[in-house]
């Protein structure tokens, strides 16, 4: 991908993307690329770096900073600040681009990507195997599952994957969400994973899918370094089955529904030839509300969640998408794009309906915040009795 086309080109200093959170009397600066540990800025320092937007010379930055703060920086002070920020790769320049490409190459050169965010993974896998229930179903073709912290919702995870522990479908397409910067609308991770053994991606299918896209679907490999919406399903699949393959993907964004349909149609063009072997997983959480997520206080999101879930149950992905867009997704349901593609493929596979197994709201008193998860199953044959009633 051409960074110049993506971000524009300017001879004036321009900061690149990073994330900011309020922290005590200042701000925490977080790098989604992981090039530096969290930094802590004063209000003035954050304002100063924000002035480097590609439209100002250094002298103009100094002048605008003085007008806003009444602090006149000397030439040496502003240059020291620039050099320090550049050491953290905070400017969009050749230094940042080279580091970005180096990190991408490191990942693409790996034999496999270890799942490092789960400690004692062999013990976790053994626990999963020993605590699965016999509550399984034979006709499930797809799941919507959470990716909340394993320690919080292990009971839900066990209930989730117990449902499919005897499935004959052994090619798992995982649709995750982007928790870090992701520059293309859709991506697939092309490398094998490692838990306590190698987990193989399905290179044959991935290569066929890649050939249908007009951009490099492997460009955003950095987004997978610690992507729990992808790695948690891999952990459970690996605990359930001896032989299987995976297609780890992220649906990051789209300008409109038609772009999402295009992604779904391109995927379906390939996977329809494996329709009896494919199992789809959408790894999403529902509402994120409360102080931890930027609200003034916690409020109950169940009505919003249930309206969204009801569209999902009927595979009404257009209505689900519009519902979130029209409300500006105010409770931060993170499956807006992922679920659209997921449901569109299921409709192409002639799946008619879904059933809800569980709905839970995990409230955290310390931060006055709540995170909602749900478990939905999609079946290849319509059944008359529901699993769950609200």
Residues in the chain: 390
Give the number of other Cβ atoms within 10 Å of residue 276's Cβ.
10
pTM of the predicted model, to two decimals?
Answer: 0.86
Predicted local confidence at residue 268, as pLDDT: 97
Give 323's pLDDT tier (boundaries 50, 70, 90): very high
Q: Where in the chain is the domain with CATH 3.40.830.10?
A: 115-379
Residues 235, 239, 240, 246: is their CA dihedral positive or negative?
positive
Q: Where in the chain is the domain with CATH 3.90.930.70?
A: 3-101
CATH for 3-101? Answer: 3.90.930.70
CATH for 115-379? Answer: 3.40.830.10
Question: What average pLDDT score do residues 118-147 get?
Answer: 90
| CA atoms of 178 and 222, how far apart (whole Å) | 11
Q: How far is CA 198 from the centre of its chain?
A: 23
Question: What average pLDDT score do residues 189-193 get?
Answer: 97
| CA atoms of 217 and 223, how far apart (whole Å) | 12
On average, the pLDDT of the chain sits at 90
Q: What's the half-sphere exposure (Cβ side, CA atoms, 13 Å) at 359?
A: 18
Residue 6 has pLDDT above 60, yes or no: no
Most confident residue range from 55-59, 276-280, 369-373:
276-280
Which pLDDT tens digit goes with each residue over 8-55?
334 689 999 888 888 888 899 999 888 998 999 999 999 999 999 999
């Amino acid at each position: 991908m051409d960074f110049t086309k993506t971000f524009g080109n300017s001879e004036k200093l321009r900061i690149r993307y990073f994330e900011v959170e309020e922290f005590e009397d200042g701000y925490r600066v977080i790098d989604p690329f992981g090039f530096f540990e969290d930094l802590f800025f004063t209000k003035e320092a954050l304002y100063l770096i924000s002035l480097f937007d590609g439209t100002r010379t250094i002298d103009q930055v100094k002048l605008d900073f003085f007008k806003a703060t009444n602090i006149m920086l000397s030439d040496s002070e502003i240059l020291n600040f620039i050099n320090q920020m550049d050491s953290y790769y905070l400017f969009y320049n050749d230094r940042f681009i080279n580091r970005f490409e180096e990190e991408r190459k490191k990942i693409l050169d790996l034999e496999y990507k270890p799942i490092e965010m789960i400690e004692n993974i062999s013990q976790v896998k053994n626990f999963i195997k020993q605590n699965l229930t016999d509550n399984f179903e034979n006709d499930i073709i797809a799941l919507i599952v959470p990716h909340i912290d394993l320690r919080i919702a292990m009971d839900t995870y066990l209930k989730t994957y117990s449902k499919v522990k005897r499935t004959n479908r052994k090619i798992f397409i995982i649709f995750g969400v982007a928790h870090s910067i992701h520059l293309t609308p859709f991506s697939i991770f092309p490398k094998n994973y490692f838990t306590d053994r190698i987990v193989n991606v399905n290179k044959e299918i991935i290569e066929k899918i890649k050939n249908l896209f007009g951009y490099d679907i492997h460009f955003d490999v950095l987004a997978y370094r610690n992507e729990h919406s992808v790695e948690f399903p891999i952990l459970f699949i690996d605990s359930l089955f001896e032989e299987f393959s995976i297609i780890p993907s992220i649906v990051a964004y789209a300008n409109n529904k038609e772009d999402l349909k295009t992604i779904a149609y391109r995927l379906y063009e390939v996977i329809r030839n494996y329709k009896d072997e494919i199992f789809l997983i959408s790894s999403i959480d529902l509402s994120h509300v409360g102080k931890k997520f930027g609200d003034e206080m916690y409020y109950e999101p169940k009505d919003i969640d249930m309206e969204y879930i009801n569209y999902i149950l009927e595979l009404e992905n257009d209505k689900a998408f519009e519902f979130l867009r029209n409300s500006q997704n105010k409770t931060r349901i993170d499956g807006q794009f992922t679920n659209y593609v997921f449901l569109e493929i299921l409709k192409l596979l002639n799946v008619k309906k879904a059933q809800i197994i569980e709905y839970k709201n995990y409230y955290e008193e310390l931060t006055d915040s709540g995170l909602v998860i749900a478990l939905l199953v999609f079946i290849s044959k319509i059944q008359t009795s529901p699993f769950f009633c609200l």
